[in-house]
Amino acid sequence: MIANKKLDQVGVIFSHELNQSFKNWKLLFILVIYLVFMFWSLNLVDNVQQAIDEKVINYDERVNIYEGLESKFGNLNVAVPFIVGLILLPFITLLMHFNIISDDRLNNRFRFLFTRSTPGVFIFGKFLASLLVLSLANLLFFIISFFYVSFVVGDPLPIVSLFYPWLFITFYSGALAAFYILTSSFFKNTFSSLAWGLFGLFILFSLGGMPFLGYISLFSYMGTSISATFTQGLFTILAFLILSFIYLFLAWLKIRRVEF
């Protein structure tokens, strides 16, 4: 009974957040800008291919690079936007989520929300809504890309090759959203949330190359995004999921101590 009640509460928060997301013109504008850059990156494919050909003189090594990319992404028409997405998403997700908790604190909605749910339900519902929105945005891009590459460029692309990049980039953006939920939970002021979200992003970048401490940074796992095997890529996706729950758990600890 208790579990069913918790699930119902998560569903209420999730539905509310999802509904608000599609009504938030600022968030939708940010997503449109992101998708525009992703589609623009399709024009970089020829430049990237030329750079690979110029850098790698050995024919066999060049063939191995292309075969490695094709085995994971289908071809460069998917791999290049994938890389661009990895670069853009930390900043796109920051703009979308820097005040995701602080806005409720600023407008004194916590007391009302917590009469209907608990801090854990509140955070998890927000996270699920964010994950779905980002997942749908990326799914839209990869589906349109499939038709563009297959029918406009004329380069046959198996639709199954889109599964890995979509799955990877979805859980990558989900881990970023969870981190910004954490940074946002510390502040009521919008500017402070944005500034510390950006500073937190810098800290994650810095920790990414450090031994031991690097494990808590999602950027320390990025080496497997392009060059690793499919199995190693799935391990990274699992790491993103675990890190998401760690960030959310820390946010839960913080929100429990918030004074209304």
Alpha-carbon distance of 24 to 85, in angstroms, equals 22
pLDDT value of residue 68: 64
Q: Tell me which DSSP letter residue 71 carries.
A: H
pLDDT value of residue 46: 72
The amino acid present at 203, given as its one-letter code, is: I
- What residue ranges of the chain have pLDDT lower than 50? 260
181 in Cβ contact with 101 (< 8 Å): yes
Alpha-carbon distance of 26 to 196, in angstroms, equals 20
Q: Tell me which DSSP letter residue 210 carries.
A: S
pLDDT value of residue 128: 92
pLDDT value of residue 138: 92
How many domains is the chain partitioned into structurally?
Answer: 1
Reported as a single tens digit per residue, the pLDDT across 219-246 is 888 776 766 666 777 888 899 999 999 9
Share of the chain above pLDDT 70, in %: 80
pLDDT value of residue 235: 85
pLDDT value of residue 221: 81
pTM: 0.88
Alpha-carbon distance of 173 to 87, in angstroms, equals 11
Residues 6+ apart with CB under 8 A from 113: 13, 104, 122
Residue with tokens 């910004």: 180
Supply the range of the domain harboring residue 141: 2-256
